[in-house]
């Protein structure tokens, strides 16, 4: 689904699916099928791999909201991913060690409850995005890219130099956090939970893209001058999108910490910001399912090519070059056809 199409087309009109919708459904079923198939064959590692794809897709979906729909190239989304991870790690750390996280206004010993951790991670991500966005959105273009990168690096070095929570060594989570009614240590249950979160987030972004807010956001990408001239200030619209984006990516970070049962500064590194951008370019920037297509392809190639050659990233680079030069719409653009307007 192209960005403009999201608002243009009432979905499923006349009961017939568009090609984009078929591709999206295939991607969703592909992920679920892969995860369940691996579980049926007792391939725990592959279930974990599918879970990783789903989590990275959530992180990419957060970035897609600002990049694909709002046109903001954030090169610092690892900040929210890592902050979400640390929110999870720190809360669990205190709960597992029975140490108070703070004693005023009440004694708080952390938590291992995923719903509480998720809300905390999203709040932390949203707050960080509010501060970083409010400052970064004063700039545009390459300056915006650089300032978001700079903020990301600041948080990265802060995490490295803060010994209380592991510093450079990171912070282990000895037991995966819990979700009421589920055994999250069972890989397939955790996979299912992550899939529910992924599709809930994609549904949320789809809803936002079709709303009044989404129309203004997509207009901000195309022509800020025009948006001002119809009485809408682009700054406010973009900042709200940035905050929602930060919250979604932080949620992914909390899940990623639980997947690995480990948080480290590498979650905050600019490599990860770059990978998230690559997912979207591979998948097709501005398309709702781009992060899933991109993350899936990336992890699959890493796994397959990585087994053949240590220099798999060289071949991956060639692929990326091919996409940028010959298939601007990414995988989804290639499969579903160019932008359709209805």
Partner 1 sequence: MADPILDIRGLSRSFGALKATDDVSLDLRAGEIHALIGPNGAGKSTLIKQISGEIAPDAGEVRLRGRSLAGVDAAGRARLGMARSFQVSSVAPEFTVLQNVVLSAQGASGASFRFFRPVMRDAGLLGTAHDCIAQAGLSGREAVPAAELAHGERRKLEIAMALALRPALFLLDEPMAGMGTEGATALGDLLDGLRHRAPILLVEHDMDAVFRLSDRVSVLVYGRVVATGTPDEIRADPEVQRVYLGEEA
Residue ranges binding partner 1 (CB under 8 A): 2-4, 7-8, 10, 207-208, 210-216, 218-219, 222-223, 225-233, 236-237, 240, 339, 341-342
Q: Which is nearer to partner 1, 182 or 228 (CB)?
A: 228
Q: Is the peptide bond before 105 cis (omega within 30 degrees of 0)?
A: yes
**Shortest Cβ 8–partner 1 spacing (Å):** 6
Q: Which is nearer to partner 1, 115 or 236 (CB)?
A: 236
- The DSSP-derived string for 146-185 is HHHHHHHHHHHHHHHT-GGGTGGG-EE-SS--B-TT--TT
Task: List the Cα angle 322/289/286 in 5-degree steps.
Answer: 70
Q: Which helix (DSSP H) or strand (DSSP E) does residue 56 occupy?
A: helix 44-64
Q: Which is nearer to partner 1, 207 or 318 (CB)?
A: 207
Secondary structure of residue 338 in the 3-state scheme? coil
**Shortest Cβ 127–partner 1 spacing (Å):** 19
**Burial profile 159-178: b = 16 or more Cβ within 10 angstroms, e = fewer:** bbeeeeebeeebbbbeebbb
**Shortest Cβ 246–partner 1 spacing (Å):** 16
**Shortest Cβ 199–partner 1 spacing (Å):** 18
Q: Which is nearer to partner 1, 4 or 78 (CB)?
A: 4
Q: Which is nearer to partner 1, 107 or 230 (CB)?
A: 230
**Shortest Cβ 315–partner 1 spacing (Å):** 33
Q: Which is nearer to partner 1, 183 or 222 (CB)?
A: 222
**Shortest Cβ 133–partner 1 spacing (Å):** 15
Q: What is the DSSP letter of 15?
A: G
Whole-number Å distance between alpha carbons of 312 and 302 = 7
Residue 79 C-alpha from the chain's centroid? 11
Q: Which is nearer to partner 1, 126 or 173 (CB)?
A: 126
**Shortest Cβ 234–partner 1 spacing (Å):** 9
CB-based burial of residue 302 (10 Å sphere; 0-12 exposed, 13-18 middle, 19+ buried)? middle
CA distances from 312 to 127, 305, 318 (A): 37, 5, 10
Q: What is the DSSP letter of 84?
A: H
Whole-number Å distance between alpha carbons of 265 and 158 = 9
């Amino acid at each position: 689904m192209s960005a403009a199409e999201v608002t243009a087309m009432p979905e499923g009109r006349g009961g017939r699916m568009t090609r984009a919708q078929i591709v999206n459904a295939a991607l969703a079923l592909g992920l679920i099928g892969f995860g369940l198939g691996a579980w049926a064959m007792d391939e725990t590692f592959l279930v974990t791999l599918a879970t990783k794809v789903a989590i990275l897709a959530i992180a990419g979906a957060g970035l897609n909201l600002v990049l694909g729909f709002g046109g903001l190239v954030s090169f610092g989304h690892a900040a929210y991913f890592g902050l979400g991870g640390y929110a999870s790690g720190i809360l669990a750390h205190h709960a597992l060690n029975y140490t108070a996280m703070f004693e005023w206004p009440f004694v708080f010993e952390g938590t291992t409850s995923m719903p509480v951790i998720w809300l905390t991670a999203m709040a932390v991500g949203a707050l960080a995005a509010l501060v970083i966005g409010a400052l970064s959105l004063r700039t545009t273009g390459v300056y915006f890219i650089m300032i978001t990168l700079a903020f990301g690096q600041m948080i990265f070095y802060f995490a490295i130099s803060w010994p209380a929570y592991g510093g450079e060594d990171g912070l282990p989570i000895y037991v995966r956090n819990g979700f009421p009614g589920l055994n999250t240590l069972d890989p397939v249950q955790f996979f299912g939970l992550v899939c529910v979160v992924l599709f809930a987030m994609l549904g949320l972004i789809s809803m936002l893209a079709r709303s009044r807010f989404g129309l203004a956001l997509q207009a901000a990408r195309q022509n800020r001058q025009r948006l001002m001239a119809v009485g809408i200030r682009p700054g406010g619209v973009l900042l709200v999108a940035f905050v929602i984006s930060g919250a979604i990516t932080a949620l992914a970070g909390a899940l990623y910490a639980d997947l690995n049962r480990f948080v480290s500064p590498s979650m905050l590194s600019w490599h990860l910001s770059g990978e998230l951008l690559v997912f979207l370019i591979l998948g097709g920037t501005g398309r709702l399912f781009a992060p899933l297509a991109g993350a899936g392809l990336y992890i699959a190639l890493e796994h397959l090519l990585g087994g053949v050659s240590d220099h798999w990233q060289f071949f991956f680079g060639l692929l990326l070059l091919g996409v940028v030069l010959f298939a601007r719409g990414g995988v989804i653009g290639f499969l579903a056809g160019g932008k359709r307007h209805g």
